[in-house]
């Protein structure tokens, strides 16, 4: 019995050796473990000014320095949006779905959730969105809103929200974002802390925002 076990053990070792020998050659040719080992030992980062206590930077960074913009000609968020508008003029940019109906779903715990039945997307092109941004910004400027003056956006995530945001980027209006889910006290606190005087809001939020206005005077658009 011991002879049989020894024979099987030797046979398995021989088979394993043959298998390793056959597979090693293509593995070495394809994977090149020697190159992988060499790359793993290379210097991957160096201190910026030569001192170990300074910031370290990858040696693969070009000698010109770190990239500061996706595109060399774009230095601001507005530059990126303007570039997109010039390239994708008639392509869809912002999509909005109409609310067909609003259903109420009663959950097992008794809570009632509102479920919206939405229609197909209605798309605005980059050119149309750009026009809206310019019109909105020009309108605010004509009403006396100055660059570096904060603008609060009080709306859910939607196309109008993005138009307002792009307007802030384009006309240098610092943007303050508030949402109904924050609650009345938090919204009023946000308005007071940022000292805003102008707002961009969804029409369905106007009744509640009027209450905020009465408690903290500001211009409303």
Looking at the structure, tell me whether residues 51 and 81 fall in a common domain.
no
Which DSSP letter does residue 146 get? P
- Here the CATH number for the domain that contains residue 200 is 3.40.50.980
Q: Is residue 160 in some structural domain? A: yes
Print pLDDT tens along the chain (221 aa).
677 777 778 888 888 888 888 888 888 888 888 888 888 888 888 888 878 888 888 888 766 667 778 898 999 999 999 999 999 999 999 999 998 988 888 888 778 888 888 999 999 999 999 999 999 999 999 999 999 999 988 888 889 999 999 999 999 999 998 887 887 788 888 888 888 776 666 555 556 656 555 555 554 44
**In terms of domains, do 23 and 105 share one?**
no
Cβ atoms 131, 93 nearer than 8 A:
no
Q: Is residue 121 part of a domain?
A: yes
Distance of alpha carbon 34 from alpha carbon 30, whole angstroms: 11
In a domain, 68, yes or no: no
DSSP state of 203: G
Q: How far apart are CA 147 and CA 169, in angstroms?
A: 10
Same domain assignment for residues 158 and 105: yes
Establish if 70 belongs to a structural domain. Answer: no
Domain housing 28: 2-58
pLDDT of residue 110: 78
Same-domain status, 192 and 94? yes
DSSP letter assigned to residue 147: T
Domain assignment present for residue 67? The answer is: no
Asked, for residue 71, whether it belongs to a domain, the answer is no
Residues 99, 207, single domain; the answer is: yes
Q: Is residue 206 part of a domain?
A: yes
Q: Are 14 and 100 part of one and the same domain?
A: no
Are residues 136 and 101 located together in one domain of the fold?
yes
**Domain tally for the chain?**
2
Give the pLDDT of residue 220.
47
Task: Report yes or no on 161 lying in a domain.
Answer: yes
Q: Verify that 45 and 98 share a domain, yes or no.
A: no
Tokens of 75: 């230095």
Do 151 and 198 reside in the same domain of the chain? yes
Residues 37, 98 share a domain: no
Looking at the fold, whether 18 and 52 belong to one and the same domain comes out as yes
Q: Sign of torsion, CA 158 160 82 123?
A: positive
């Amino acid at each position: 019995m011991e002879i049989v076990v020894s024979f099987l053990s030797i046979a398995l070792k021989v088979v394993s050796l043959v298998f390793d020998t056959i597979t090693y050659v293509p593995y070495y040719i394809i994977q090149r473990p020697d190159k992988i080992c060499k790359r793993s030992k290379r210097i991957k980062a160096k201190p910026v000014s030569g001192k170990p206590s300074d910031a370290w930077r990858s040696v693969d960074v070009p000698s010109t320095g770190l990239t500061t913009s996706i595109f060399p000609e774009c230095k601001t968020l507005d530059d990126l949006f303007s570039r997109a508008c010039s390239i994708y003029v008639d392509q869809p940019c912002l999509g909005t779905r109409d609310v067909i109906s609003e259903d109420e779903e009663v959950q097992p715990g008794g809570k009632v959730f509102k479920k919206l039945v939405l229609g197909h997307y209605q798309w605005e092109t980059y050119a149309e969105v750009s026009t809206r941004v310019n019109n909105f910004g020009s309108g605010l400027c004509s009403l006396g809103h100055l660059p570096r003056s904060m603008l609060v956006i009080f709306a859910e995530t939607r196309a109008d929200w993005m138009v307002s945001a792009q307007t802030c980027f384009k006309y240098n209006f610092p943007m303050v974002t508030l949402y109904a889910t924050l609650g009345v006290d938090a919204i009023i606190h946000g308005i007071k802390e940022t000292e805003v005087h102008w707002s961009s809001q969804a029409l369905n939020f106007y009744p509640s925002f009027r209450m905020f206005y009465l408690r903290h005077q500001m211009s409303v658009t």
